[in-house]
Amino acid sequence: MKFLLAAINAKYIHSNLAVYSLKNYVEGFGEKVDIAEYTINQNLDELLADIFIKHPDVLCFSCYLWNISYVKQLLVEVKKVLPNVVIWLGGPEVSYSALKFMEAYPQVDGIICGEGEQSFLEIVEYYRGKRNSLKDINGIVYRMRKTSENEEQIVENPFRQVMDLSEVPFVYDNMDRFEHKIIYYESSRGCPFSCSYCLSSVDKRLRFRNSELVKEELQKLIDAEVPQVKFVDRTFNCKHEHALEIWKYISEHDKGKTNFHFEVAADLLNEEELSLIETMRPGLIQLEIGVQSTNPKTIKEIHRSMKFDVVKHNVDRIHKKGNIHQHLDLIAGLPYENYESFKKSFNDVYALKPEQLQLGFLKVLKGSFMYENAERYKLVYQARPPFEVLSTKWLPYEDIIRLKGIEEMVEVYYNSRQFENTLEELENIFEDSFTMFEKLSNYYNEHGLFLLNHSRIARYEILLDFIKEQDRGHIEKYRNLLTLDLYLRDNVKNRPQFSGDDTVSKEEAVQFYDREAQEHTYLQGYEDYDKRQIRKMTHLEKINGKLYLFDYKNRNMLTNQAKLITVS
Ligand code: SF4
């Protein structure tokens, strides 16, 4: 009986921790299964052919919001070319609506609901003749086919008790398979909070992996010098001792190569954690913080317990130290959040100057409290994944469209970090930051710019054209700032038109690099290069009479910007 666990990821760089956990878990009991990883960007027929060639007897799909449409199409086709294959599904996208899913897709033989390791082991044992029936396997819904008549029945077994997380095997003993991939790691499962839109709130059974085991495993990842480890823990710092112990360990054993990503509740960070974070190497950790809204009525209604004044204080404190990348999230479309109140939420969060500000839209997920209360909130949402909100009692579709435009402007001009100095100055001429992005979005709309693909340089030119409409009197100042932002990012080969002629004469540049190649006054780490090479690797620019040197070898670990040196 050949088992194939198929994972369809959103991007090539992702890997699917769940299927590796299942494989390693059952292998611990002597059962062998295979894994196939694909991406949603691959042609469906390509996957179909690959699965056909692999010819599994039992095919299992790991189902998430980002791949469920793909899985639904694929399983229908698979059954046509492999009519005898048994199909099982698992994952959050099917766990909470298993019965309905099985009714809609007769191709599916069963669904694992919730945590999968033990259920999957028992399913493998069943198909390999080590168990007599599926009826004693908890945590599954399955199709019982009655062979005599052409009848069948869908059976829902009782829920499965959660397992000890330390029994889940470590999946990264052989790192070859994960080269160029983000490594996902789980040190806790479940979430103690109850946010009404989130499926993690449905399962409150919070448990932790033994911290000694965690340290041992993290050491392997540190030794392998993997670039990034993303903790999938829903709220990593919900237990102080656990978070502190792990943060201390990675700080003390850091080799300067690995970045660790954590989702945290910023208002739960205590003094000891904050003090430790302040001492960390820039780039050692990054924090993702869900604010979602700063409207107290909204926060209460969605059952969150976030104290924004504490979030503000802690995010601000971390920001001032400048060593941690902070990613803050907002959600549009929540109860009691209209356009004006979202504007306030946005301005409150933007004022904290996170490295990334993600403006997301409510997803109405089956099984969530929000889904159950959709009528009460007059939630209108997409019928297809990701089930994103289209309008609410407080937010008409027109406003959602406006916010979509603003979201794109925030992505392009703020989150790209390519216009930092320009935006910082530009903000001052608007009543607030939200209005700046709103006006920029209106400009894109009026000029039909949303529908086109723009080069990186074109984004600078569009911003300058927009500024000409807003603040014509100071256009030179903005040209300088855009040039500064451009060169901070890249040593561009062809100087763009908006930057005007070279600001440093050939003679001045020759003199500077002659001297620098001998004296090494400004640049560190260039000692082995000659003056021509140094000139190629750096950039000189005169702004407002001051001479600046852009050092691309020594970039800022958080922003990736070149080191800016004032020469004179
Ligand atoms: S949104 Fe985050 S904090 Fe809230 S229930 Fe989900 S995982 Fe927990």
Range in 174-178, 230-234, 294-298, 305-309 with the lowest mean pLDDT: 174-178
**Ligand 1 centre from 195 Cα, in Å?**
5
Lowest mean pLDDT among 202-206, 337-341, 499-503: 202-206
pLDDT-derived band at 205, boundaries 50, 70, 90? confident
The pLDDT > 90 percentage for the chain reads 91
Q: How far apart are CA 367 and CA 351, in angstroms?
A: 35
Beta strands of 293-355 (E only): which ranges? Answer: 325-332
Spatial distance between the Cα atoms of 266 and 239, rounded to a whole number of angstroms: 13
Ligand 1 atom, smallest distance to 292 CA: 1
Tell me if 201 CB under 6 Å of ligand 1: yes
> What pLDDT, on the 0 to 100 scale, is given for residue 537?
95
Cα–Cα nearest to 361, from 348, 341, 342, 384: 342
Region 264-282: mean pLDDT is 97
Tokens of 232: 């999938």
What are the beta bridge partners of residue 3? 58
Residue linked to tokens 């909100």: 389
What 3-state class would DSSP assign to 110?
strand
- Beta strand pairing status for 34-39 and 3-9? parallel
Q: What is the pLDDT of residue 176?
A: 87
pLDDT tens-digit map of 129-175? 999 999 999 999 999 977 666 788 999 999 999 999 999 999 998 88
User: How far does residue 380's CA lie from ligand 1's centre (Å)?
Assistant: 22
Closest CA to 200 of 191, 189, 211: 191
Helix, strand, coil abundance in the chain, percent, nearest 5: 45, 20, 40
Question: If you take atom 3 of ligand 1, which residue's CA is the nearest one?
Answer: 193
Q: The tokens of 255 are what? A: 């080799």
pLDDT band at 557 (very low <50, low <70, confident <90, very high): confident
Residues 380-404 as b/e (b if ≥16 CB within 10 A, e otherwise) read bbeeebbbbbbbbebbeeebbebbb
Ligand 1: which of 195, 299, 328, 334 to mutate, judged by most atoms within 8 Å of the beta carbon? Answer: 195
pLDDT above 70 as % of the chain: 99
Q: What is the pLDDT of residues 294-305, one digit of tens each?
A: 999 999 999 998
CB 349 within 8 A of CB 330: yes
Atom of ligand 1 at shortest range from CA of 191:
8
Give tens-digit pLDDT for 388-431: 999 999 999 999 999 999 999 999 999 999 999 999 999 999 99
User: Which atom from ligand 1 is nearest to the alpha carbon of 304?
Assistant: 4
User: If you search the block for the tokens 């082995």, which residue do you land on?
Assistant: 528
Give the contacts of 282 (CB within 8 A, at least 6 positions apart): 322, 323, 324, 556, 557, 558
* Among candidate residues 476, 383, 392, the one with its CA nearest the CA of residue 69: 383
Measured in Å, residue 197 CA sits from the centre of ligand 1 at 9
Residue 367: per-residue pLDDT = 86
Q: What is the model's pLDDT at position 148?
A: 64
pTM score of the predicted model: 0.93
Give pLDDT, residue 145.
77
pLDDT digits over 527-538, tens only? 999 999 999 999
Q: Model confidence at 502, in pLDDT bands (50, 70, 90)?
A: confident
